[in-house]
Amino acid sequence: MFDYDVMTEMEATQERFQLLPDGEYQAVCDSSIDKVSQKSGNPMMDIMWSVYDANGKSHPVRDFLTITRSMMWKVIHCAESTGKLQEYKDKKFCSDIIRGASCIVRIGTEKGGEIPEDKLKGKAPGARYPDRNKVEDYIVRLQRDDVVMNKSDSFHDDDIPF
């Protein structure tokens, strides 16, 4: 038998579409697949992140990291944020490298687009897909520069035995 919480359909729907507020969050790469975009034909990484809110609850957020000159800034930020910059420089940055990596992501909210008529499935014309979270950027934190010392942490004893 499975252990689960009993919910109403309304509660389950609210849980499904619960969005993170825009901001910066810790994330871990659950899966990533190297693909070619069906629309543009460009190479991309289809990445699924577990993004953790302030309570430690995981929220799945998908990012299509497109490998093009105009989006290379985001690829570089992803490589830096996950600690995989050398792999990027060596031209080895790919899905195999990023799986299981952690980083900080900047999450935004994307408004749901209008559902095409052929996909309404009984919904009213003009119905929209639900809003969703998206990775706007990958945040790079400098290791040593982020550390702030308290004045009480300074060392005042000049009598150091060597």
CB neighbours of 40 closer than 8 A, spacing ≥ 6?
66
Summarize pLDDT for 100-144 with one digit per residue, the tens: 999 999 999 999 999 999 999 988 999 998 899 999 999 997 653
pLDDT at 77 over 50: yes
- When computed from its CA atoms, the radius of gyration of the chain, rounded to whole angstroms, is 21
Summarize pLDDT for 17-60 with one digit per residue, the tens: 789 999 999 999 999 999 999 999 999 999 999 999 999 999 99
Amino acid 157: pLDDT: 46
**Domains of the chain from N-terminus onward:** 20-144 (2.40.50)
pTM recorded for the entire structure = 0.77
d(CA 58, CA 50): 5
